[in-house]
Amino acid sequence: MSPRNSRIEARRTRERIVERGIALASVEGLEGLTIGRLAADLQMSKAGVLGHFGTKEALQLATLQGAAAAFSRLVWEPVAHEKPGLPRLRAVRDTWIAYLETGRDIFPGGCFFTTASTEFDARGGPVRDAVARLLRVWRHRLAAEVRTAVAAGDLPTDTDPDQVVYEMVALYLALNQEIQLFADPTAAARTRRAVNRLLDQP
């Protein structure tokens, strides 16, 4: 096998490990990721899995990054073409709901970041810091859209972008719980109505 083909194969193998890690961690948490479990699931040797990451922490961090990229593909990229501000926020409303309702092939345990933030919010260390950083990036992105909506006159001039984002995040945390814990078939519609009230302020 040529060096180039070896690099391509190594990259594909790493991607397979991360994809499986995302699925497992969405259900069992990042602490549930073990080299042995992944090796068994992927029919690899433990050394083969370990060789791509070196440590469990490196595996957790790579899984987090992979989950963030998947979230972006499902929630942000489909709306990137929308007009910035309120139109894009309304589009995000729907892709975010869809991520929680239909993203089970990638995230069988529901919202990956809800699971990760609950698991690591009382801990210290690089994994906790990475979870917090990724969630801050998402909140800052949403807040920028709210500010654009205010500047365009689509939201009142006294709108607090951080407050709007705070309430949006709370609604989607509740939606994840309603879907995962209570299997409420009305949850998506309730969330859509609540977000509409938030974004259609008089």
Do residues 128 and 120 lie in contact, with contact meaning Cβ atoms separated by under 8 Å? yes
Do residues 56 and 91 lie in contact, with contact meaning Cβ atoms separated by under 8 Å? no
Q: Compute mean pLDDT per 10 residues along the chain, 202 residues long, and list them.
A: 70 92 94 89 89 91 97 97 98 97 90 94 95 97 98 96 98 96 96 95 53
Q: Which domains does the chain have, with CATH numbers?
A: 56-199 (1.10.357.10)
Tell me: the pLDDT tens digits for 132-142? 999 999 999 99
The whole-model pTM stands at 0.91
The pLDDT score that the predictor gives to residue 27 is 92
Closest CA to 138 of 172, 169, 100, 179: 169
Distance CA(158)–CA(38), nearest Å, equals: 50
